[in-house]
C-alpha cells in the first residue's frame, strides 16, 4: 500500500516547513514534533521520505556511500564493495545503484546493539572472525531516521542518537569491534508531552521544534476526514491523484539543495540572529547556529541567494521555543511582541535596559521570606533554591500558629491560596530495591533495554561473551580445534538493569498550621519542583490533600502532571489537620493503583509538619494518625514501595512530630530545605528511622518539650 501523500496532509504548515528545511540542510539538526495524539504527526513524517530525492549509492555498500564522494573510513571501503569498483582514472565508481531515500524507524524498545550495530554472530560462530553487523544508524545514512515517542527511549540511546546526528559519524567500540562510519541523516522525533518530557540537555540537541494541535475549524476537520476516508477506500487511486504535487515538491527540494551552497548570510542578519537569541536568554550557542542554518535554508527554499529579515524571523519561531522553556510547566512558544522588539534591536550592539534591582543588598525583600522575587542569587549557579528554615520563620511570630488553625472569615484569596515559590532542581528520590515496572528514569529495575550487568542460562537474547566462555572449555571434548561448537546448555542470556518509572503520590497537608508563618509558598514551590522531577522521569503522579475535616484526591494518578501543578497553585489552605484522613486516602489510592498497574512501585511523599488536630473516629487525633500511618505503611510494603516524610516544621521550638510520623511509616525523613540537589551531602540514609541523626533530633525535641512543660 502506498504511503499517504506528503502534499495531501491538511494544515500543519509549520511542521511541513520544518521537515523541508531539514531535508535541504541536515545540519539544521532535526525536528522534534510535539503534540497531542491523533494529529497526523507520524503520517506526515512517513510521507516525507517519498518526496526526498533519489540517491546514487555504491553497489553492495552496507553504508550507502555516495559514488561521487565515498567515505574514506567506510568499513566496506578498502576490502569490500568499493574494491574494484573505482574507475582507474577518476574518483567515481562504475558499479552504482539508484534507490529512494530510506525511512528507518527506531522502535521504543530498541537496544543499543540494534541502534549502533554489533558483532555478526553468523561469521563469529562459523569462522571465529569478529565481523561487524551495521545497525539502524548505518541504515539511515543519507536518509530519514524517525523516532516515534522519542521521550520514551532510554536516555543512553537518545544520547547516542543525538551525538551521531550532530557529528554525522557513529563510533562503535564494543566486544572487540572498533568501527567508524558515516551517519548523516534527517532526524525526526515525535512525542506526546503528556507522557513525559525530554531532559533539557537532550531537548536542546534538536534543531527545530513544532507544536502540533488539531484544528478547531469544522471545515478543515471535515477535509481531513474526507481525504482520510478516500485514502482508506482506494490507496492507489488517492496516491495517484497527488503524485504530481509530490513530484513538484521533490523537484523544488532538489533545486533548493543545489542553491543552498551559494546562499550568503549578511553580517547585519547575523547580528540580528545573535541579538534575538540574547534577548530570549537561551543557553549556549546552539540556538544561534541552528537559527542561522535554518534562515539560510529558508532563503534557498524561497529561491533567494541572500538571507533576509523575514527568513530570520521565521527561523527563530522554529528554533527557539523549546530552548527558552525553563521547565515543562512553562507555556511553549514565543512572545510575538518580544520577538518583534528583538528583531528591531537584534542588530544593534547594545544591551536592553536592565530592570532595576529592588534589593541591592540581596536580602530578598522585607523579612527575607524567600518568596518568588527573592531567589535571584541564592547559589553558586544563580538558580532558585529551596528556602532555608530561617527564611521560613522570618515572616511571622511564634504565637500565630494556633491562631491560624481555623480559616478566617473574609480572608482574601492571597491569604488562603499562596503562590508557589520558584521551582528548583531536586535531589533524586528513589524507590528502594530493584523493580520490574515500566521503563522510566527513576528507580533501578530489571528490563529488556537496559545495560547488561551479567548473564544467566537462557535464550531470551544472547550474551555472546558469556556464551563463548561457557562453550570454550568443552571444545576439546567435542573434538573440534577450529570452529566453535555450541550446545543448548552453553547459551546465556543477558541480565539487564535499567530504570523504571514509579507512581509518585504526594500527600500534602493544607491545614492552617501549614499556612502559619507564610510557609505554604515555600511548600508549594518544593512540591512543584518534585512534580517537575516526576514529569521528566516519566512517572505517574497523584496528589492527595487534607485540611478541615477530610482528605480529597485532588489529582488521580496520571502522566499529565502539569494538571497537578495547576491544582497545586490553586490549593487553598486553612482549617484543622485531619492527618489520619490524608494517610488513609493515600492507602486507598495505592490499593486501586495496584489493581490497575501492579508492576509500578509507589514513592509516597508526605509533606506535613506532623500535627494532627482533627480525627473522624475518636477524640485522640494523634493516636488515630498513628494507626493510619501503620495502615499506610502496610499498604506501601505490600507493593514494595518507599515513603518519604518532608518535614515542614520550623521555629525555635520544634515538636518533632513529622520525625515520629516517619518512624511510624518506616519512611525516610527529610527537612524541606534538604530537597535541593545541592544538599546531597546529607544523605537520605542519615534520615532513616532509628539512625543516629534522628535519635539526636528526637532527644533534642524531648528535652525542649520537658522544659516547656516544667515552665
| Residue 163 pLDDT | 80
Pairing type for strands 169-174 and 177-182 reads: antiparallel
Distances (CA, A) of 49 to 6, 41, 145, 253, 676: 9, 14, 10, 12, 46
3-state secondary structure of 635: helix
Across the range 440-449, mean pLDDT stands at: 80
Query: Which of 663, 665, 548 is closest to 616 using CA atoms?
Result: 548
pLDDT in tens, 227-236: 999 999 999 9
Q: Mind listing the pLDDT tens digit for each residue in 635-645?
A: 999 999 999 99
Instruction: Tell me, yes or no, if 519 is annotated catalytic.
Output: no
Q: What CA–CA distance (Å, rounded) separates 369 from 523?
A: 13
| pLDDT 10s digits, 107-160 | 877 777 788 887 666 666 666 566 777 888 888 888 888 888 887 777 778 878
- Reference 512, options 627, 619, 611, 388; nearest CA is 611
Residue 679 DSSP SS3: helix
Q: Is the pLDDT at 491 greater than 60, yes or no?
A: yes
More confident residue, 451 or 471: 471
CB 574 within 8 A of CB 403: no
Q: Which of 99, 540, 28 is nearest to 293 (CA)?
A: 28
Q: Which domains does the chain possess?
A: 6-54+100-125+132-216 (3.40.50.300), 261-345 (1.10.8.80), 408-431+502-710 (3.40.50.410), 443-499 (no CATH)
Could you give the CA distance from residue 660 to residue 261 in angstroms, rounded to a whole number?
70
pLDDT over 70, % of the chain: 76
Of 406 and 530, the structure prediction assigns the larger pLDDT to 530
Strand-by-strand arrangement of the 540-547 sheet: 550-558, 540-547, 503-509, 602-608, 642-647, 668-671
Cα three-residue angle 595-155-541, rounded to 5 degrees:
35
Instruction: Determine the length of the chain.
Output: 711
Nearest to 34, CA basis, from 14, 49, 50: 14
Mean predicted lDDT score pLDDT of the chain: 77
**421 or 576, greater pLDDT:** 576
Integer distance in angstroms from the first to the last C-alpha of the chain?
Answer: 87
CB within 8 Å of 90: residues ≥ 6 apart: none
A 10 A CB-CB count for 37 gives 9
Q: What is the pLDDT of residue 267?
A: 93
Cell digits for 61?
555498500
- Kindly give the pairing relationship between strand 96-99 and strand 177-182: unpaired
Partner residues linked to 117 by β-bridges: 134
DSSP state of 193: G
Greatest mean pLDDT range, 70-74, 296-300, 391-395, 525-529: 296-300
Q: Is 114 helix (H, G, I), strand (E, B) or coil?
A: helix
Please give the pLDDT value at position 382. Answer: 41
Alpha-carbon span 149 to 35, nearest angstrom: 11
How far is 568 from 554, CA to CA, in rounded Å? 9
The C-alpha cell at 163 is 551525538
Question: Average pLDDT in the 5-9 region?
Answer: 90
Return the C-alpha cell found at 180. 567508524
β-pairing, 144-148 vs 103-105, is: parallel
The kind and range of the H/E element at 554 are strand 550-558
Phi, psi (deg, nearest 5) at residue 72: -65, -30
Q: Count Cβ neighbours within 10 Å for each residue of 312-346 and write b for 16 or more, e otherwise.
A: bbbbbbbbbbbbbbebbbeeeebeeeebeebbebb
Nearest-angstrom CA–CA distance, 273 and 140: 32
What is the pLDDT, as a whole number, of residue 300?
94
Q: Give tens-digit pLDDT for 639-696.
A: 999 999 999 887 777 889 999 999 999 999 999 888 887 654 333 334 444 444 444 4
Least confident of 96-100, 120-124, 286-290, 506-510: 120-124
| Catalytic option among 34, 62, 272, 286 | 286
The single residue listed with the C-alpha cell 537561551 is 282
Residue 199 has pLDDT above 70, yes or no: no
DSSP letters, 15-31, are HHHHHHHHHH-GGG--E
The mean pLDDT value for 396-406 works out to 37
Write out pLDDT tens, residues 303-344.
999 999 999 999 999 998 888 755 555 555 677 778 888 888
Amino acid at each position: 500500500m502506498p504511503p499517504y501523500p506528503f502534499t495531501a496532509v491538511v494544515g500543519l504548515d509549520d511542521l511541513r516547513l520544518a521537515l523541508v528545511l531539514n531535508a535541504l540542510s541536515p545540519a539544521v539538526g532535526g525536528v522534534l514534533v510535539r503534540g497531542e495524539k491523533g494529529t497526523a504527526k507520524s503520517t506526515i513524517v512517513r510521507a516525507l521520505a517519498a518526496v526526498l530525492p533519489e540517491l546514487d549509492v555504491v553497489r553492495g555498500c552496507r553504508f550507502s556511500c555516495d559514488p561521487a564522494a565515498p567515505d574514506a573510513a567506510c568499513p566496506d571501503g578498502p576490502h569490500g564493495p568499493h574494491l574494484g569498483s573505482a574507475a582507474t582514472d577518476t574518483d567515481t565508481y562504475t558499479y552504482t545503484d539508484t534507490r529512494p531515500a530510506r525511512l528507518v524507524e527506531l522502535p521504543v524498545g530498541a537496544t543499543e546493539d540494534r541502534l549502533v550495530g554489533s558483532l555478526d554472530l553468523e561469521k563469529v560462530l562459523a569462522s571465529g572472525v569478529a565481523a561487524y553487523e551495521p545497525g539502524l544508524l548505518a541504515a539511515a545514512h543519507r536518509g530519514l531516521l524517525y523516532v516515534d515517542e522519542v521521550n520514551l527511549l532510554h536516555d543512553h540511546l537518545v544520547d547516542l542518537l543525538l551525538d551521531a546526528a550532530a557529528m554525522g559519524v557513529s563510533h562503535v567500540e564494543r566486544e572487540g569491534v572498533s568501527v567508524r562510519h558515516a551517519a548523516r541523516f534527517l532526524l525526526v522525533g515525535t512525542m506526546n508531552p503528556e507522557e513525559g518530557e525530554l531532559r533539557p540537555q537532550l531537548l536542546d540537541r534538536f534543531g527545530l521544534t513544532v507544536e502540533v494541535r488539531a484544528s478547531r475549524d469544522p471545515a478543515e476537520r471535515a477535509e481531513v476526514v474526507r481525504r482520510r476516508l478516500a485514502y482508506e477506500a482506494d490507496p492507489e487511486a488517492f496516491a495517484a491523484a497527488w503524485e504530481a504535487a509530490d513530484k513538484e515538491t521533490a523537484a523544488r527540494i532538489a533545486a533548493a539543495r543545489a542553491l543552498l551552497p551559494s546562499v550568503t548570510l549578511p553580517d547585519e542578519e547575523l547580528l540580528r540572529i545573535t541579538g534575538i537569541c540574547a534577548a530570549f536568554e537561551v543557553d549556549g550557542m546552539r540556538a544561534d547556529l541552528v537559527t542561522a542554518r535554518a534562515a539560510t535554508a529558508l532563503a534557498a527554499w524561497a529561491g533567494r541567494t541572500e538571507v533576509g529579515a523575514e527568513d530570520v524571523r521565521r527561523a527563530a519561531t522554529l528554533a527557539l521555543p523549546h530552548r527558552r522553556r525553563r521547565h515543562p510547566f512553562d507555556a511553549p512558544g514565543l512572545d510575538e511582541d518580544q520577538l518583534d522588539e528583538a528583531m528591531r534591536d537584534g542588530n544593534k550592539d547594545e544591551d536592553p535596559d536592565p530592570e532595576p534591582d529592588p534589593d541591592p543588598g540581596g536580602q530578598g525583600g522585607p523579612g527575607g521570606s524567600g518568596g518568588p522575587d527573592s531567589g535571584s542569587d541564592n547559589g553558586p549557579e544563580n538558580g532558585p533554591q529551596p528556602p532555608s528554615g530561617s527564611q521560613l520563620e522570618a515572616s511571622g511570630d511564634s504565637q500565630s500558629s494556633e491562631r491560624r488553625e481555623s480559616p478566617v472569615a473574609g480572608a482574601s484569596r492571597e491569604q488562603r491560596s499562596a503562590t508557589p515559590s520558584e521551582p528548583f532542581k531536586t535531589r533524586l528520590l528513589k524507590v528502594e530495591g530493584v523493580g520490574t515496572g515500566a521503563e522510566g528514569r527513576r528507580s533501578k529495575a530489571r528490563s529488556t533495554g537496559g545495560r547488561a550487568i551479567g548473564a544467566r542460562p537462557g535464550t531470551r537474547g544472547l550474551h555472546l561473551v558469556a556464551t563463548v566462555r561457557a562453550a570454550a572449555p568443552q571444545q576439546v571434548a567435542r573434538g573440534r580445534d577450529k570452529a566453535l561448537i555450541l550446545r543448548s546448555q552453553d547459551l546465556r542470556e543477558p541480565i539487564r538493569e535499567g530504570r523504571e518509572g514509579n507512581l509518585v503520590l504526594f500527600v500534602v497537608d493544607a491545614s492552617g498550621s501549614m499556612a502559619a508563618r507564610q510557609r505554604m509558598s515555600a511548600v508549594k514551590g518544593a512540591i512543584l519542583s518534585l512534580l517537575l522531577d516526576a514529569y521528566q522521569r516519566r512517572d505517574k503522579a497523584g496528589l492527595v490533600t487534607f485540611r478541615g475535616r477530610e482528605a480529597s484526591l485532588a489529582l488521580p494518578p496520571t502522566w499529565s502532571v502539569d494538571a497537578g501543578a495547576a491544582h497545586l497553585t490553586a490549593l487553598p489552605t486553612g482549617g484543622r489537620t485531619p492527618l489520619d484522613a490524608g494517610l488513609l486516602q493515600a492507602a486507598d489510592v495505592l490499593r486501586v493503583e495496584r489493581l490497575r498497574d501492579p508492576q509500578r512501585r509507589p514513592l509516597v511523599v508526605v509533606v506535613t509538619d506532623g500535627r494532627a488536630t482533627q480525627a473522624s473516629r475518636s477524640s485522640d487525633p494523634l493516636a488515630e494518625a498513628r494507626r493510619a500511618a501503620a495502615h499506610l505503611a502496610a499498604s506501601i510494603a505490600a507493593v514494595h514501595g518507599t515513603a518519604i516524610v518532608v518535614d515542614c516544621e520550623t521555629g525555635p521550638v520544634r515538636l518533632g512530630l513529622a520525625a515520629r510520623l516517619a518512624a511510624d511509616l518506616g519512611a525516610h525523613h527529610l527537612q524541606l530545605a534538604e530537597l535541593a540537589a545541592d544538599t546531597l551531602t546529607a544523605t537520605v540514609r542519615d534520615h532513616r528511622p532509628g539512625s543516629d541523626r534522628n535519635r539526636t533530633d528526637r532527644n533534642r525535641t524531648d528535652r525542649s518539650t520537658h522544659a516547656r512543660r516544667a515552665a
